[in-house]
Amino acid sequence: MIEELAVGAQFQIPYLHIVVNNAYLGLIRQAQRGFDMDYCVQLSFDNVNAPEVGGYGVDHVKIAEGLGCKAVRVLEPDRIAPAFEEAKKLMAEYRVPVVVEVILERVTNVSMGTELDNIAEFEELATPG
């Protein structure tokens, strides 16, 4: 549900809303893994109104702006921290939610679980040097 963005804009509630975009309905796709499925969960398509999203389909920046918010798109990992800094400035200036959309690789598995002490990791965790 994204209506919370419009409510935040309506009542001038600045907060950071992060969208991790891999052009999939990610948690649904992951839930299907146990059934050896990957059915109707990808959202990648060439959006004629947003060629800048490069086949990732939905333009979350335009959606956020259409709901009265501000938004920043991140295409490279080294741009995440600067995007958060830009988001802070936009929140202070406009007093609305700011969406930071981070474009990920297409098939990405996120950590998930039913309890904090029962999290399934699908990728090896980064460890300090």
Q: Residues 101-127: what's their mean pLDDT?
A: 80
Q: Is pLDDT above 70 for 129?
A: no
Q: Residues 16-40: what's their mean pLDDT?
A: 73
Beta pairing class for 119-120 and 112-113: antiparallel
Compare 24 and 66 and report the one with higher pLDDT. Answer: 66
How is residue 100 written in tokens? 């930071």
Q: Is residue 122 part of a domain?
A: no
Q: Is residue 127 part of a domain?
A: no
pLDDT value of position 15 = 97
Q: Is residue 123 part of a domain?
A: no
- Judged by DSSP in three states, 101 sits in strand
The distance in angstroms from the start CA to the end CA of the chain is 39
Letter for the amino acid at 118? N
Q: Residues 101-109: what's their mean pLDDT?
A: 81
Split into its structural domains, the chain has a count of 1
CATH at residue 9: 3.40.50.970
Q: Is pLDDT above 90 for 106?
A: no
Compare 119 and 66 and report the one with higher pLDDT. Answer: 66
Rounded to whole angstroms, the maximal C-alpha distance in the chain is 47
Q: Is residue 61 part of a domain?
A: yes
Q: Is residue 115 part of a domain?
A: no
Q: Is residue 117 part of a domain?
A: no
Over residues 39-82, the pLDDT tens digits come to: 667 778 898 999 988 888 889 999 999 999 999 999 999 999 99
Domain boundaries, position 30: 3-110
Q: Is residue 97 part of a domain?
A: yes
Q: Is residue 71 part of a domain?
A: yes
- Residue 8's CB is within 10 A of a number of other CB atoms, namely 20
- Return the C-alpha torsion angle 62, 71, 21, 7, nearest 10: -80
